[in-house]
Structure 1
Amino acid sequence: MVRLLHTADWHLGRTLEGRDRLPEHEAFIDELVTIARDEDVDAVLIAGDIYDSVNPPAASEALFYESLARLSEGGKRPIVIISGNHDHPDRLAAAQKLAEAQEITIVGTPSLTPVRIPIRAKDTVLNVAPLAYPSESRLNECLSDQGEEELILEAYDERVRRMFQQMSASFSEKEVNVAMSHLFVAGGKATESERPIEVGGTYTVRATSMPENVQYVALGHLHRPQEVKHAPTPTRYSGSPLAFSFSEAGYSKSVTIVDVEPGKPAETKDIPLSSGFPLVRWKATDGLPQIHQWMDEGRDKQAWIDIELHTDHSPSMEDIHQLRKAYPGIVTIRPVFPEDETREKVVSSRDVPIDELFRQFYSRQTGGSKPEDELVDLFLDIVNETETEEGD
């Protein structure tokens, strides 16, 4: 049995409303190295978005290279890395020649070349089909020539499916075979911390387009850990190690351990992470006194906090300064006035079908595009499943 560690979406260099997250990322790397050792991991898969921008801070680059050295342990533990939509593919892969000596493979741009890695301790081979973020420009294709939006979607989906097929064509059932990519698979649950244009539209791929002749597909891009339904083989987003927007409040973070033997489906388990500060929301319906009470109680002392402050009057600059001085983790304070609450109740009472609300949301997020009926059906399936689970 080969044991893999699947992680993605580190977003080194990302801030939260100007707050530095580097100490949290450093703590995550410490935790990740410990997990790799304690779980006796044979190889590591990092599925894109190492950095938060194409020009990351020097401290973030230094942390990345340090993390690779520690994770690989001098080449004892191979690592395969692909670029994500936030990474500069050439910059990320620039260190490939040096990394090879440490059994580290970095794939910056999409190609048809699989990676073959001997796992000497288990006397087998790990084959990886590593599809780096397949944007239209990185695929070097002009999909817009297809004309109609539906044809563009079909062309992109078909291209990704064929690339997986070609990369995995030489895989042997007597070896361990996996695929990895950084993309949005239809049906995945997104958060506000991913770029909306990439959650739908041209860059959506069907779950059924994932390769069939591998035992596991490691995905990056969505920040919630989740399985992909309807894929022909176990397929999973590992999620991000830190919460990057308050839409992720209440969601636990983890990395994925994958156990796989030649010719058998992979088995997975989540390892929870504790290194990042949680993002929490306070809804102070009783105004400033309620916030002061929570602070006196020491509520969420080690967290990033978004406050919804219900009040008749705007808080003074002095009030805000005192709150943030006492609680440095307070990120935003959003006053809600009585007229805002009344307006919200009127809007929420409109009798609009949920599928129409989804179509309106999709159109706003994608600049006017209309969702395919298949995508709407997937959304309704998720809603129905959620309602069924809540009713159980």
Structure 2
Amino acid sequence: MRSFRLLHTADWHLGQTLHGIPRDAEHQHFLDWLIDRIGEHRVDALVIAGDIFDGQNPPIPALVLFYRFVARVKALHPGLDIVVVAGNHDSASRLEAPSPLMTEMGVRVVGTLPVSQTGGFDPSPLIVPLRDADGKVAARCVAMPYLRPSDLPPSDPRTVEEETVDPLIEGVRRRYSQAWTAGRERCGREEALILTGHCYMRGGALSEVSERKILGGNLHALPVDIFPEEAAYVALGHLHRAQAVGGRETVRYSGSPIPLALDEEPYPHQVVLAEFAAGRLVGQQPLRVPRHVAIHRVDAASPEEALARLRRLQLDDSLPRDAWPFLEVTVTLPEPRPALRDEVEALLAGRPVRLLKLAVRLTGSGQTLADDAPPVDLASLEPEEVFRRLYRRSHDGAPDADLLAAFHELLTSVQETM
């Protein structure tokens, strides 16, 4: 009998735009690729660990992408179990709205924590049986969605010592403990215990542009020991860089399938194929997602260098427009260059590339007039000296003669109107 295979993915962010450019074509290529991999590797279960959509009210094309994917993959692979949990970007209620229909299709969607008839947390609906190719239950997945502070139990003053234990973290720990304990109790002898989570774990590597810490602010990073050692695998979402957590190879972020910010270009994007036998993880393999759209980043020490590198940029004229690469240009400016954007856009005109961002790096001191030591009386400074000091804040050296002449012309016109 062959082993049980699970595909772990997260952070699709369907409906995202990057500097105003929709990502629908990239997401469609990813979903097509994902369906092919499910068939190629004979996957038994798919876990999507949150942030299916990029916002609480996803646009119609994003909804179409998701539901068309579900319909296609279930038509091709009727025995595939699918578990979907909400992330911090998702609307939990919107995600759960079609649950009756999705459940009939073999898709378990969990947006919010289930509540018992007495109003307390009931973990039993979170426990999802996952079956192998023979139809036998091979694993129990504890489908825990993103936890908001309102989902957590009140802190117990008898167990939480002030200033030594964070009540939010302890609340998460208690919720997870209740959930995985219920999952463990339902696990048969050779069934794997699989947990999900959409959270920020301590020590995780973030993408500075597109990610932020979650759970009641920016200070609550969760320790890896909230997950029991006996869990065969923990499928995490939220961080876009694929990584293991806390030195535990079984606790893992799959990462996002496409770069969601320009600074995510350097590292690979992937899904994780995990294999289980007799209730234990026996192998895992990253499946790298091919990029439909390349990202070019040009970082130049001067405008001349930037323009020269853009002229040499190798581009494929045969690409369809939705596959044209994205371009980020960063330029060091020792002196003002007001026409730089026009120069860059003129050089790129007619070429198969999309300029998403043009950033400048200033070389001045960065000091304001108030930073002078000793403090200076602004009333004692001539306008030209104020202008020169402001120039040095952003640029090297002194303003050239033409710029000074333009400043004096402007100053004269202002003074004449006073």
TM-score range, shorter chain: 0.7 to 0.9
Contact 1:157 1:206 in 2 (8 A): no
Distance 1:54 1:187, change over 3 A: same
* Counterpart position of 2:272: 256
> C-alpha distance in 1, partners of 2:15/2:156?
33
| Deviation beyond 6 Å, 4+ runs, structure 1 | 144-147
**Is the Cα contact below 8 Å between 2:235 and 2:252 reproduced in 1?**
yes
Does the alignment pair 1:322 with 2:346?
A: yes
TM-score (norm 1): 0.79
- Structure 1 residue 36, shift from structure 2 partner: 0.8
Find out whether 1:63 has 2:79 as its counterpart: no
State the SS of the aligned residue for 2:364: helix
Contact 1:184 1:199 in 2 (8 A): no
Whole-Å separation in 2 of the counterparts to 1:122 and 1:267: 21
Question: What is the match of residue 91 of structure 2?
Answer: 88
Q: Which residue of 2 aligns with 1:246?
A: 262
Partner of 1:371: none
Q: Report if aligned partners of 1:84, 1:133 keep a CA contact under 8 Å in 2.
A: yes
Deviations 1:94-141 (A, max 9, x none): 11111122211101113412112333426343310111101112x154
User: 1:1-392 residue pairs with structure 2 within 5 A?
Assistant: 1-73=3-75, 75-111=78-114, 112-113=123-124, 114-121=127-134, 123-137=136-150, 139=151, 141=153, 148=163, 150-170=165-185, 171-192=187-208, 193-198=210-215, 201=218, 203-231=220-248, 234-288=250-304, 290-298=306-314, 302-311=324-333, 312-316=335-339, 317-323=341-347, 325=349, 326=351, 328-339=353-364
Q: CA deviation at 1:75?
A: 2.8
The alpha-carbon distance between structure 1 residues 76 and 29, as it changes in their structure 2 partners (threshold 3 A), is same
CA-CA distance at 1:190 after TM superposition: 1.2
Are the equivalent residues in 2 in contact too, given 1:308–1:334 (CA < 8 A)?
yes
Kindly state the Cα deviation for residue 26 of structure 1 after the two structures are TM-superposed. 0.7
Greater fraction of residues in helix: 1
Aligned length: 340
Quick one: which amino acid aligns to residue 263 of structure 2? S
Structure 2 unaligned regions, length at least 5: 115-122, 318-323, 368-418
Q: Which has the larger radius of gyration?
A: 2
Residue ranges of structure 1 left out of the alignment (5+ in a row): 344-392
| Change in CA separation of 1:53 and 1:324 when aligned onto 2, cut-off 3 Å | farther
SS in 2 for 1:46: strand
Partner amino acid for 1:66? R
Q: List per-residue Cα deviations over 1:212-255 (Å, max 9, x = no partner).
A: 33211111010001111244x71110000111123312111111
In the aligned structure 1, how far is the partner of 2:112 from the partner of 2:40?
Answer: 33
Over aligned residue pairs, what C-alpha RMSD do you find?
2.7
The alignment partner of 1:186 has SS state of coil
SS of 2:143 mapped into structure 1: strand
Q: CA deviation at 1:93?
A: 1.0
1:143 and 1:334 map into 2 onto residues whose CA distance is 46
